[in-house]
Amino acid sequence: MDIESRLIETVIEAVHKIYDQAPDKKTIQIQKTRKDFDGDFTLVVFPLLRISKKPPEQTATELGDYLQENIKEISSYNVIKGFLNLSIDKSFWLSFLNSVGNNTNYGFIKEHEASNTVMIEYSSPNTNKPLHLGHIRNNLLGYSVSQILKSQGNKVVKVNLVNDRGIHICKSMLAWQKWGEGITPEKAGKKGDHLVGDFYVKFDQEYKKEISELIEKGSSEDDAKKNAPLILEAQEMLRKWEAKDSEVITLWKEMNSWVLAGFDVTYKELGVDFDKVYFESDTYKLGKALVEEGLQKGIFIKKDDGSVWCDLTDEGLDQKLLLRADGTSVYMTQDLGTAHQRFKDYDANELIYVVGNEQNYHFQVLKLILGKLGYSWSEYLHHLSYGMVELPEGKMKSREGTVVDADDLIAGMVTTAEEMSNELGKLDDYSETDKKNIVETIGLGALKYFILKVDPKKTMTFDPKESIDFNGNTGPFVQYTYARIQALLRKADEKNITITEEVETNSEISAKELQLIKFIHTYPEVLSESAKNYSPAMVANYVYELVKEYNQFYHDHPIFSESDESKVAFRLYLSAQVSKIIKSGMSLLGINVPDRM
């Protein structure tokens, strides 16, 4: 049992024995002592005053006496109004440090048969364009949340829903037919997703020309947009696709295969993967049966034109269209069916959608409708709503070709990492192969860390130069600290210094060393909170604070110039444990840490 759990149990026991009444466990509030007070853990006494019927200071003192007498690790306590601050003996912290050294997965919880199955959908790209900076945030969030949830004992299924049908797909196809001249990714020497994306941009350019021409001839802008020949042709192509026209289907399959192959290259570069890929072309009709079921049960309403709606006015929303008058489905219909299919496929306990905050309303409605249909699991459907990624110069637009392409960004980050490393002289002694591997690790680490350190809910501005700085709250700063510790451990080996396998619990240590051990102690709590909040930012910022704490320790406590061999051995052992936590935390963010930098 960990120290916090023991404190809670002993407080319950104390209240029962001193005041002859058993408190509700929920009223026992144990928290970390604030930095400006002495102590390690603080008991908030106020909720217990109705039981003690005594002043807060007296209640805290009586409980403090009992706790100190019954938990040998408590060395002292102090009372500040209604707060009981408990100090834990140094021997406990050193014993704890040994437990970390003996645990290869410190902070992790083992998966077992009764573990929750959590499905996470992320990426969800369209097959009419390459992945861009916004997709990068989506993919990194989805993958990292998956890793964090897995670390807390959950069975995790990572899924991708590829949007491979619809008018936007037909726009790229039509543009390729008109202006492609039989070009393929191989002939063009381009990734397939980039090639198809070029035709999506081409369609928009030509479409705008036609709109302008129609407006010049007297059409209103709305009429011009509806009647431009290109959009009418694209709509006709969509109708042919839905009618399974063989020529359209053949082209659709070929162009989609180009894009999917391109996506796979980007996913591999980013280090993300999926356990299952769903395709909208397979799932878009799934929800129709559910809508029919809702109609029969009187949950939905059919209007005079034959369209089907769900009335959500009692929930403070509006009416939501589920089937058009011609019987065709909408996105909501598809998502109803897909959610049902996924719970059926994997018997999931929870389904998390990693989707931008512009879809907040959609997922609010999806959850409500599934609840109305009687699916109890709708309660466990969560929208991980994240803010958009902007650039210092503003927003991006796919149709106009002004997005930051994911592949270009990754390559640019690696190039910037190489330039900065060369400028600082960090890679002078490395072979070309080692240099290539390290700059890729630094470049991708900088990109991932900069994005993941921001609370997912917040809109963020991505600045490549700032992200790759070797100082401050950045990936390279964390990676450099890890590499520095590995260099210390190698130097110890070269000097034949034996790093102890276990520290003596009566060792003399400084306040800074003790503080570092206490910081390591909070790692499992950070992982637990990060999992509950679906927030990799909590892990990223914890690792940064740990690294800052370590660097202060390293600055104040020389290792190899220390004459006391036992202190040298202890500081190396402590350094090794810190590096283990850094590596563990960064791996949950999908970031590698190099042994040398």
Q: What is the pLDDT of residues 295-349, one digit of tens each?
A: 999 999 999 999 999 999 999 999 999 999 988 888 899 999 999 999 889 989 9
**Between vectors from CA 523 to CA 522 and to CA 526, what angle results, nearest 5°?**
90
pLDDT at 398 over 60: no
pLDDT at 573 over 60: yes
Query: What is the enclosing helix (H) or strand (E) of 278?
Result: strand 276-279
pTM, 2 dp = 0.93
pLDDT at 66: 98
How confident is the model over 135-163, as a mean pLDDT?
97
Task: Provide, rounded to the nearest whole percent, the portion of the chain with pLDDT above 70.
Answer: 98
pLDDT at 491 over 80: yes
- Report DSSP letters for 303-368, one per residue: -TTS-EEEE-GGGTS-EEEEE-TTS-B-HHHHHHHHHHHHHHHH--SEEEEEEEGGGHHHHHHHHH
Length of the chain: 597
In the structure encoding, which two tokens stand for residue 44, read together? 């908030």
Q: What is the pLDDT of residues 292-301, one digit of tens each?
A: 999 999 999 9
Average per-residue pLDDT for the chain: 93
d(CA 123, CA 139): 5
Task: Provide, rounded to the nearest whole percent, the portion of the chain with pLDDT above 90.
Answer: 85
Q: How confident is the model at residue 552 (pLDDT cuts 50, 70, 90)?
A: very high
Classified as helix, coil or strand, 145 is: helix
- Tell me the residue type at 309: W
d(CA 18, CA 48): 12
In the structure encoding, which two tokens stand for residue 286, read together? 């799934």
pLDDT at 393: 67
Q: Name the burial class of residue 36, with classes exposed (0-12), middle (13-18) and buried (19+) by CB atoms within 10 angstroms of its CB.
A: exposed
pLDDT at 399: 46
Which of 222-231, 257-266, 300-309, 496-505 has the lowest average pLDDT? 496-505
Among candidates 475, 564, 542, which has minimal Cα distance to 572?
564
How confident is the model over 218-246, as a mean pLDDT?
95
How confident is the model over 25-40, as a mean pLDDT?
94
Rg (CA), the chain: 30
pLDDT at 558: 87
pLDDT at 396 over 50: no
For the chain, domains (ranges, CATH) are 3-88 (3.30.1360.70), 166-275 (no CATH), 406-588 (1.10.730.10)
Per-position b or e across 428-465, b if 16+ CB within 10 A of its CB:
eebeeeebeebbbbbbbbbbbbbbbbbebeeebebebe
Q: What is the pLDDT of residues 251-308, one digit of tens each?
A: 999 999 999 999 999 999 999 999 999 999 998 888 999 999 999 999 999 999 999 9
Q: What is the pLDDT of residues 92-120, one digit of tens each?
A: 999 999 999 999 999 999 998 878 999 99
What is the strand order of the sheet 319-323 is part of? Answer: 301-302, 308-311, 319-323
Do 241 and 174 meet the contact criterion of CB atoms below 8 Å apart? no
d(CA 411, CA 402): 17
How confident is the model over 585-596, as a mean pLDDT?
96
d(CA 63, CA 69): 10
How confident is the model over 376-386, as a mean pLDDT?
95
pLDDT at 400 over 60: no
pLDDT at 403 over 90: no
